[in-house]
Amino acid sequence: MSFIEDSQNSAPDSVQTSKLGAARKGAEPGQNAAKRLQTELMQLMTSPAPGVSAFPSADGNLLSWRATIEGPEDTPYSGLSFKLSFEFPSNYPYAPPTVLFRTPIYHPNVDFSGRICLDILKDKWTAAYNTQTVLLSLQSLLGEPNNASPLNGEAAELWDKDPALFKTKVMDRHKDIEDD
Amino acid sequence: MPEQKMRGFGDFSDDQHWGDEAASEMENVRMSDVVAAGGQKWMAISVYVSIWTAIQYHLCTNAREGCLLTAVISPDATTAAASIADYHLTSPTGTRGRMNEARRQHQVALASTLSTGTNGRGLLEDAWKNAPAICRPGMTEASYAGILPVGASIAAARKRNLQFRYRTRIHAQDLGSTRIARCLLWQPDMPAAVASQWRDRQRRVFQSVFQTDVAPSTSQTTHVSQSTDPGQPFGYPLAPLPGHSLHPQQPQQTHHGRGRSLQRPGQHPSSRRATPESSSFGSTAPPLLTTAVDDQATYDRAWHVVTAHIALPSSATADDSFGTLAAESQQQSSRRRGDAGANEFYDAFALVINASTLLPRATRTDDILAWHVRQVRAHFAQHVIPLLTGCVADDGDDDGDDEAGEARDDGAGNGHWHAARKGNHYERHMVTVMSSIRTLEAALRLYFYGLNQLLSGFSRLADSSPGLAKDAELLNTRFRRDTHALVSNSASEGLMRSIKAVLTRLAGTILGFPSQDERKGDGGQAPRPAAPGPDDLRVQAARERLLELVQQLHNVGLAGERFQVLFAEVMDLMMSAFVTGAYGGVWSAPDPGSFSVAMDTISRSGPSSATSPCIMSLSDWVENHFARLSFEVLACISSNPQGPLPVSLADVKTYQSLALGRLAALRIGELFDIVLAWPASRPALDDLRATITTATRRRQLTDSFSRSLQIRLLHPGRSTLEILQTYISIIRTLHALDPSKVLLSHVEPRLQLYLCHREDAVRVVVSGLLASPDEIRAARKANEVAKSPREKPQSNGPFATAAMPAMSSSTSRDKPRLHSSVQVDENGASPDDNYSRRPTKLVELALLLNDPAQNRRMAADLDEDLDWDDMNWVPDPIDAGANYKRPKSEDVVGTIISGLGSEEVFIKEFSAVVAERLLSEPTRFDQELRVLDLLKRRFGEAALQSCDVMIRDVQDSRRVDTAIHKARAGQRARALATPAKSAADCRGQEMEYHARILSRLFWPNLDREHFLLPQPVVEQQAQYEQGYESVKSRRKLTWLNQLGQARVELELRDRTVTADCNPVEATVIYAFQRTEDDGDGNAPPVQKSVDELYEQLQMDEDLIAAALRFWVGKGVLCRVAGSKNNYIVVETLHDPAASTTTAVPTASTQDEEGQQHATGELEAPDLRAAAGAKPAVSAKERERREIYWRYIQGMLTNVSATMPLGQMAMMMKISIADGFPWSNEELQDFLAEKVTSGELEVVGGKYRLVKK
């Protein structure tokens, strides 16, 4: 409860904030991003999508999240789960979050350090997207890779040519990571 | 004069060899100022060495006893003792060795000088006279004897005597003068006056070092027995020696056994003392003292005459009268003897005084004044003190009651019994004091009679020697002082207590405390102390009495330091009692006219000028009564009437500030009541503001207030409403007290913290803000009604000028609102009417919100730092915090809102309440709009945007509603073209149906509750929907069935019931509608079970149960006997078995033709209707728990597979936007449930999801 800060003579920042008055609204981007992320989190919790989940990371920073995607059925990734990290910029949702696969994954659009090639995380980003939509896009990307612009050429080739080998590579590459 | 004398004994001082040795000793005594020439110098030196030796000698043997003894004798002796003690303490061991050597050398010197001639004979005799009373253990030391160059026993005796003589001259060294020391050696030739002075000193020092009896006269003569027993025959000095030496010394020995025992043990003091002196006297004195015997006899005779003349009566048996009688008898006897007696006395007196001149051979002389002093002391101790004790004794057993009575003195109304006892006490104390005074007066008269005799003797002698007159004056004052010291030091505790009681009583009367008579007469309410008027006879009498008493006390010596301390205590008590008694609970302004006097006094220029009436009256009281009394009493007992005034103007100021301090303490104690009584207590705040001037007092105030807050307000017995009302009063009070609000900020945190625990605090505030004008009017009226009874006690206040009566009786009447409840706690009962008047809303807030003064802040904020025109500017208080910012106005609303936590919480609650109100009332929303406007100015537009939207929604829906109805009216008009029957039918089916269209995103908590509405309503909904979609294209309506209001008219067999209810209740009762095909009214009443209703309505069972209860409460339904879940319609009140025309809701505005049509003004959602029901709340809670569980799952899935409780709680707190209200314990319980249900597991103190 912040009543102490609100009393007349207390910490300097409270005085400043009260001086700023109305200007405060919208003036602190990090504040807005955090608020938005809290709302998104609440949405995720109240209407969860199957196979995806996300949560702020343990350090108490709302701009850094951890997420989990279950591999969709009828894809080589079925039965596997992948951990991701989300780093939200302070002007989120006006800029996309940086999303990385933390679990090693063999996928045409993901490189070996977990970077993802997905248009909505780059130039196609709009403020209408949110964490949940990103997660669902990624989930669908697992089943439908965009082989036109691969980060992993070999995987792109194998996806069409040799699904069995692809599946083996996926299983080889996959490794459950420990929690940090 | 000394030079002459020294020349006289140059003939025996040429012995160079001991002179050298003595020179070495000289350094030790530091006689740098010795001025002498030739052999005389050596004599002088030897004298000094002797003196010094004597001092050293005594140091180790008797100094300690001497110090103890002399402490009680006289100032001079005390000085000597102090110097001895100094010597003793600084060199306890170091001097001992040196002393032995010095003593040896000294003996050598003396032996050689004395054996050479007879010049020292007079000196020897003088010493001889002093010898008998002395014990000199050192004399018998073997080493001592071995050093003696001349072995004669005479020489030994002389040496002893001489050495003793030197001892008695200790004080000579104190004076630090060589000359005086020399003079002493040749005392027989000195002028008589000087000699007697020296003798006096000599004796005193002697007494200080050795322990002689204080009571008898000179120790070496027979005067002891003769003076105390004047009738006995007079004895010559030689004759009584053997018997005398045994007789008086025997008691001495026992009396002073402790002191004596400090001397050399093993040697009997009396034998040592008696034998050598008598033997030496016998062997050496006779040839020398043939003339001395005659002189001595003359002297002793004269001494006897004088002492007999001034002797005090030896025994006293008569209580009060003994003194006067004795004095009279003295006078009578002297008169009887007539002039002859007087002359005889004066002659004898002259002899005694000038003994050294007139009777140079009389060796045993003494100071008659000293004798008198001793006699007085003895008499006082033996006769007067027992009498004084007798005066006090009978009071002793009442001490306990007495003190208890004093303690209760300031507490008013102790009842008649106590008052009566108190009166008795006073009388008894007065008797004690007066009898003591009379006794002392008599005794002192006796003592001074003797003194005056002596003084008149002096005055006769004054002609011959002028120095004596001055002496006499000195002696007189000294005697007086000593006697007074004696009296005041011997005053018993009981006497002092009595004096205190008497003082308290008299000072109390003078200072305006009500007497017991008034207390008795008044009965119930004790009168308050008040400054008495100038013509109050009682006060004048008491004043005279007191001053007279003080004067008497002063005369007998009882007005010493102890009395002054006592007086100070009493006055202190008076001030406290007056402040408490006169101003406790009295807050209002007294009649200003009565203080016109005060306005002309110095208090006007004081720092507290032009402040509250209490302060003015108090200052006036202090100045005109308190200080006056102090002045009079102190002037009375002042020893120096010409000295500075006992009470200066500065003292008066000090008194006033002391009194204000007391007043401040009183008000601080009352602050909580002052707050409760706001605004009637405004004058009390003036008092406080003027007196709370230091940071310490401010601190004291906040501490004390916080404590009483904790005890009296912040506990579960207080409703949130009461706490908030008090909070408002606190804000206003403390703001009035301290516009800087620093005091408030010191008190607030605890209150705010407590309010945070009250979940309904925000709601109470919001609903208070939104109180309707009607409620405000009602509250105002209640306040006025509450105020009116207070007018009566106001008029009949006692001096106290009190516009308010005593607090205990007034508070409950003054403050009907909150105060009544306070009184409940304190008194256990409260007037009933207070309950009825207590409002249920915090309407004060609404009043404040409309108060322009409260909103000044917004305007002032613009240039708050640059307000150069503020002529009332004062610096920030000293106890303000570092970032303290001066507030511009009271701003109660702002303070309370900020006290409730963040703005967000408040706004959220505000929109919830606004939503509820918007949905509940079909009226206009003027109040809401106004409050909203005011709040917008406070919080900004953006924060209250949702409220704006809500209000617009409601306004829009009214318009849309009208449009839809118009459109449907048009349809109906077209339908009228069809056959009339159908038209009538159509109208019959019609019911009024209005909806409010809400924007989903901006309304809080719009949950949907599923159930089936009655068919007609559903049809209406469909039509309405249709109409809406035609008005607003591409929009869809979602119905919130559970929110809204319905007016239901039930036509039962014997009566019609109209009820306003919520849709759920309307739906349930509609289910009991008799279906159309049941035909006429002969069928039995409709009966349904809960299960049937559940199937029919698809409604939550809890809601069904609640609705059934509602209708049972209305008397429409009742439970079927014998079954738990079946309900039946009560068609007739008195005959439940009779049949029915079933109840049907009928549109209130519609035709009342008995057609059974359900109608409902199903208006849009009502938040509270749903949230108010218990099941809904628990459903909400269930939902919340479900959400939390998802959070925990998300946490454990993504962040870390295992987490400890604390981290989870922390994560919950940061990640949930609305805050996570659970404590760690609650979360733990929740997690434990999940562990039990197998969804979680605990591994190593951390939680983990169970893998499926």
Distances (CA, A) of B495 to A167, B391, B392, B637, B745: 114, 8, 6, 18, 53
Please report the pLDDT score of residue B660 as a whole number.
84
Q: What is the DSSP letter of B1162?
A: B
Minimum CA–CA partner of A9 in chain B: B884
Contacts of B695 (CB under 8 A, 6+ apart): B877, B878, B879
8 Å CB contact of B1197 and A68: yes
Please report the pLDDT score of residue B169 as a whole number.
43
Pick from B1049, B1023, B1057: nearest CA to B1146:
B1049
Distances (CA, A) of B1236 to B754, B1200, B1251: 35, 21, 15
CB A55 within 8 A of CB A47: no
8 Å CB contact of A46 and B1187: yes
**SS (HEC) of A155-169:** HHHHHHHCHHHHHHH
Q: At what angle do helices B290-310 and B416-461 cross, to 10 degrees?
A: 140
8 Å CB contact of A41 and B752: no
Chain A residues with beta carbon closer than 8 angstroms to that of B884: 8-9
Distances (CA, A) of B892 to B200, B220, B877, B1061: 84, 93, 21, 38
Please report the pLDDT score of residue A94 as a whole number.
87
Distances (CA, A) of A148 to A117, A119, A121: 11, 12, 17
Please report the pLDDT score of residue B975 as a whole number.
66
Concatenate the DSSP letters of all residues of chain A into one string: --HHHHSSS--HHHHHHHHHGGGGTTT-HHHHHHHHHHHHHHHHHHSPPTTEEEEE-TTS-TTEEEEEEEPPTTSTTTT-EEEEEEE--TTTTSSPPEEEE-S---BTTB-TT-BB--GGGTTT--TT--HHHHHHHHHHHHHS--TTS-SSHHHHHHHHH-HHHHHHHHHHH--PPPP-
Pick from B1183, B1209, B1182: nearest CA to B1195:
B1209
Give the separation between CA B428 and CA B395, rounded to whole angstroms: 7
Give the separation between CA B174 and CA B554, rounded to whole angstroms: 35
8 Å CB contact of A53 and B1216: no
Q: At what angle do helices B773-795 and B807-814 cross, to 10 degrees?
A: 150
Please report the pLDDT score of residue B522 as a whole number.
42
Give the separation between CA B156 and CA B162, rounded to whole angstroms: 10
Chain B residues with beta carbon closer than 8 angstroms to that of A17: none
Minimum CA–CA partner of A35 in chain B: B1217
CB A14 within 8 A of CB B898: no
Q: Is B191 exposed, middle or buried (0-12, 13-18, 19+ CB in 10 A)?
A: middle
Alpha helices in B247-394 (DSSP H): 249-255, 257-260, 269-288, 290-310, 322-353, 355-358, 368-379, 385-393
Is-above-0.80 flag for pTM? no
User: Least CB-CB distance to A57: which of B898, B942, B1199?
Assistant: B1199
Contacts of A65 (CB under 8 A, 6+ apart): A37, A54, A55, A56, A57, A85, A86, A87, A88, A97, A131, B1198
B→A contacts (Cβ < 8 Å), by residue, are 741-742, 745, 748-749, 752-753, 756, 880-885, 887, 898-902, 940-943, 1187, 1190-1191, 1193-1195, 1197-1203, 1207, 1210-1211, 1214-1217
Give the separation between CA B487 and CA B479, rounded to whole angstroms: 12
CB B606 within 8 A of CB B653: yes
CB A8 within 8 A of CB B885: yes
3 state SS of B1089: strand
pLDDT category at A99 given cuts 50, 70, 90 is: very high
A54 — phi, psi (to 5°)?
Answer: -150, 160
Pick from A80, A75, A76: nearest CA to A174:
A80
Residue in the block written with tokens 């809290």: A38
Minimum CA–CA partner of A4 in chain B: B749
Give the separation between CA B422 and CA B514, rounded to whole angstroms: 13
8 Å CB contact of B1199 and A55: yes
Strand partners, B1247: B1203, B1242
Tokens of residue B1001, six digits = 């995103």
3 state SS of B588: coil
Most B CBs within 10 Å, among A3, A65, A135, to test the B interface: A3
Contacts of A121 (CB under 8 A, 6+ apart): A96, A97, A98, A99, A134
Give the separation between CA B160 and CA B114, rounded to whole angstroms: 12
Contacts of A159 (CB under 8 A, 6+ apart): A108, A145, A147, A166
Give the separation between CA B680 and CA B703, rounded to whole angstroms: 24
8 Å CB contact of B901 and A66: no
Before B816, cis peptide (omega within 30)? no
Distances (CA, A) of B688 to B613, B663, B743, B800, B1148: 12, 8, 12, 18, 62
> What residues of A are labeled active site?
117
Minimum CA–CA partner of A102 in chain B: B1198
Q: How many residues does chain A have?
A: 180
The number of C-alpha atoms within 13 Å of B662 and in the hemisphere containing its C-beta is 22
Please report the pLDDT score of residue B312 as a whole number.
72
Before B1165, cis peptide (omega within 30)? no
8 Å CB contact of B1216 and A42: yes
Please report the pLDDT score of residue B528 as a whole number.
67
Chain A residues with beta carbon closer than 8 angstroms to that of B880: 9
B994 — phi, psi (to 5°)?
Answer: -125, 150
Identity (one letter) of the amino acid at B186? W
User: Least CB-CB distance to B883: which of A15, A53, A66?
Assistant: A15
Q: What is the DSSP letter of B594?
A: G
CB B720 within 8 A of CB B761: yes
Tokens of residue A17, six digits = 């904030």
Q: What is the DSSP letter of B1246?
A: E
Give the separation between CA B581 and CA B411, rounded to whole angstroms: 8
Give the separation between CA B32 and CA A34, rounded to whole angstroms: 96
Mean pLDDT by 10 residues, chain B (1252 residues): 40 41 42 37 41 43 38 36 41 46 47 40 41 35 35 44 44 37 39 57 57 40 38 39 38 39 40 39 44 74 77 53 43 50 74 70 71 82 80 52 39 41 70 83 82 76 64 78 81 81 83 61 54 73 84 80 85 85 67 39 40 77 83 77 71 85 84 79 76 80 86 81 83 78 78 79 78 69 55 34 35 35 35 42 69 51 55 68 62 72 76 77 70 77 79 81 81 63 44 75 71 80 80 75 78 79 82 62 71 81 83 81 77 53 34 31 35 51 84 84 84 79 85 87 84 68
Give the distance from residue B861's alpha carbon to the nearest chain A alpha carbon, in angstroms: 9
Pick from B175, B155, B168: nearest CA to B126:
B168
Please report the pLDDT score of residue B139 as a whole number.
36
Most B CBs within 10 Å, among A13, A43, A45, to test the B interface: A45
Q: What is the DSSP letter of B976?
A: T
Please report the pLDDT score of residue B409 as a whole number.
40
Identity (one letter) of the amino acid at B239? A
User: Least CB-CB distance to A12: which of B883, B900, B1215?
Assistant: B883
